[in-house]
């Protein structure tokens, strides 16, 4: 069995799902960036390369989306045969992810529209839903004591829909809405299995994640993993409209665009058992088409057989891209309690920029020097807080 290293930002719900996905084809080696906050970026890269060489690892998966130290230059320095970028919120971070993806051999994205965007740009890209493992999400065959349920946090327009249903005598059972949820697999699967219908909301709320230019806040109707989780538990999902849902489910999942449509759909499903059973059967069948052991396994077999192509093209990274990751690096160090890694990192930044003799890098160099004393003070304060807590 081939070996694969998963480079995650943190250990938790996301990383555990990712490990279980790739276990169907690989022996897993996990590397969590949060465990290496006492090291510089180059030291982290050195540790990853050592793990790859020591264990004869051929494949690497790195978590994309949102800012961390995982970027184009970071991945380029890692020596591994085949590199995969895994994305879940590309709708929000595409302008950044697109550049980072240039250092990878493959893009796995959990959104079908995002997948089309990468294919359009010539990437080897695959639609790979994150939450699609039947061994994690399963039907516990419990009594359906709840008619309508929802799991997830309170945000965007969700309150409006839930309150409207309740005003019309349809209660909505909630999990993790007003407080952090206990999302272990069994608890979540049992919650879903106890429900006749689970709602899904696609509206993300206002987003403004653009770094290359100024823009305005805007809502997205994004693809969520919730419908697939629900379907693998053999429960029906009723979802707010999303173009991605239409690509994946077609007419096999009831969809609403406003609270009146949602009410009408729920009333129909709850009052007509034959209609409900037929809809639920078609929806569940469609979800299992994307189950990891069926769908994802074929993708892994395909990339496993492909020969790596050497890409000799050179890329000049835009100023804004270099700057945002440089600033993120500084922010990461400001949260730490050890001073020496930051001093080493700032020396590397200054040495690297000054040796490239390019006026293009001068603003980044100046910005790093201006922040230097403030970051030192913040790190020392973090260290002092740790000492005071230890004395208590």
Architecture per CATH, 146-290: 3-Layer(aba) Sandwich (3.40)
**Closest C-alpha among 177, 172, 120, 184 to residue 146:** 172
Tens of pLDDT, residue by residue over 288-339, are: 999 999 999 999 999 998 877 666 567 889 988 988 888 888 777 777 666 6
Place of tokens 């327009």: 157
- DSSP H helices, 40-103, are 41-54, 72-76, 90-100
What is residue 198's predicted lDDT score, i.e. its pLDDT? 98
What is residue 203's predicted lDDT score, i.e. its pLDDT? 92
Tens of pLDDT, residue by residue over 249-265, are: 999 999 999 999 999 99
What is residue 214's predicted lDDT score, i.e. its pLDDT? 66
**What would the two tokens of residue 156 be?**
């965007």
Q: How far apart are CA 284 and CA 131, in angstroms?
A: 14
Q: How far apart are CA 192 and CA 225, in angstroms?
A: 14
What is residue 40's predicted lDDT score, i.e. its pLDDT? 86
Report the b/e string of 222-251 with b at 16+ CB within 10 A.
Answer: bbbbbbbbbbbbbbbbbbbebebbeebbee
What is the pTM for the complete model shown?
0.90
Q: Which CATH number fits domain 3-133+294-305: 3.40.50.2000, 3.40.50.1970, 3.40.50.300, 3.40.50.720?
A: 3.40.50.2000
Q: Given this chain, do its domains 3-133+294-305 and 146-290 carry the same CATH topology?
A: yes
Low-confidence ranges of the chain (pLDDT < 50): 354-355
- DSSP H helices, the chain, are 13-22, 41-54, 72-76, 90-100, 112-120, 158-167, 185-193, 226-232, 243-249, 259-271, 273-288, 297-305, 319-334, 340-355, 362-391
What is residue 358's predicted lDDT score, i.e. its pLDDT? 57
What is residue 354's predicted lDDT score, i.e. its pLDDT? 47
Domain boundaries, given as residue ranges, for the chain: 3-133+294-305, 146-290, 319-391
Q: How far apart are CA 341 and CA 345, in angstroms?
A: 6
The upper half-sphere exposure of residue 377, i.e. CA atoms within 13 Å in the direction of its Cβ, equals 5
């Amino acid at each position: 069995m081939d070996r694969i290293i998963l480079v995650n930002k943190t250990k938790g719900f996301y990383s555990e799902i990712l490990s279980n996905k790739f276990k169907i084809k690989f022996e897993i080696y996990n590397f969590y960036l949060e465990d290496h906050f006492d090291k510089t970026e180059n030291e982290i890269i050195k540790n990853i390369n050592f793990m790859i060489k020591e264990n004869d690892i051929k494949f690497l998966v790195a978590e994309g989306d949102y800012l961390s130290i995982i970027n184009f230059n970071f991945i380029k320095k890692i020596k591994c045969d085949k590199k995969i970028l895994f994305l879940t919120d590309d709708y929000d971070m595409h302008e950044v992810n697109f550049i980072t993806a240039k250092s990878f051999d493959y893009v796995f994205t959990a959104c079908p529209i995002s997948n089309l965007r990468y294919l359009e740009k010539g990437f080897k890209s695959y639609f790979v839903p994150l939450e699609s493992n039947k061994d994690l999400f399963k039907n516990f065959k419990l009594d359906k004591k709840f008619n309508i349920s929802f799991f997830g946090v309170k945000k965007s327009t969700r309150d409006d829909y839930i309150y409207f249903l309740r005003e019309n005598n349809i209660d909505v059972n909630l999990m993790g809405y007003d407080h952090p949820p206990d999302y272990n697999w069994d608890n979540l699967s049992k919650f879903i299995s106890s429900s006749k219908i689970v709602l899904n909301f696609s509206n993300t709320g206002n987003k403004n994640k653009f770094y290359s230019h100024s823009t305005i806040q805007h809502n997205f109707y994004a693809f969520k993993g919730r419908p697939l989780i629900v379907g693998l538990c053999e429960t029906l999902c009723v979802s707010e409209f999303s173009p991605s849902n239409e690509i994946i489910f077609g007419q096999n999942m009831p969809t609403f665009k406003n609270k009146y449509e949602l009410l009408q759909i729920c009333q129909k499903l709850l009052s007509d058992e034959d209609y409900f059973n037929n809809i639920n059967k078609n929806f569940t069948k469609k979800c299992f088409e994307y189950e990891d052991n069926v769908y994802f396994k074929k993708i892994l077999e395909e990339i496993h057989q492909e020969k790596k192509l050497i890409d000799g093209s050179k890329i000049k990274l835009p100023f804004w891209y270099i700057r945002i990751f440089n600033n993120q690096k500084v922010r990461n160090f400001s949260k730490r309690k050890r001073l020496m890694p930051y001093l080493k990192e700032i020396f590397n930044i200054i040495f690297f920029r000054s040796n490239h003799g390019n006026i293009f890098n001068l603003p980044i160099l100046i910005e790093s020097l201006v922040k230097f004393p403030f970051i030192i003070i913040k790190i020392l304060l973090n260290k002092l807080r740790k000492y005071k807590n230890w004395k208590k």
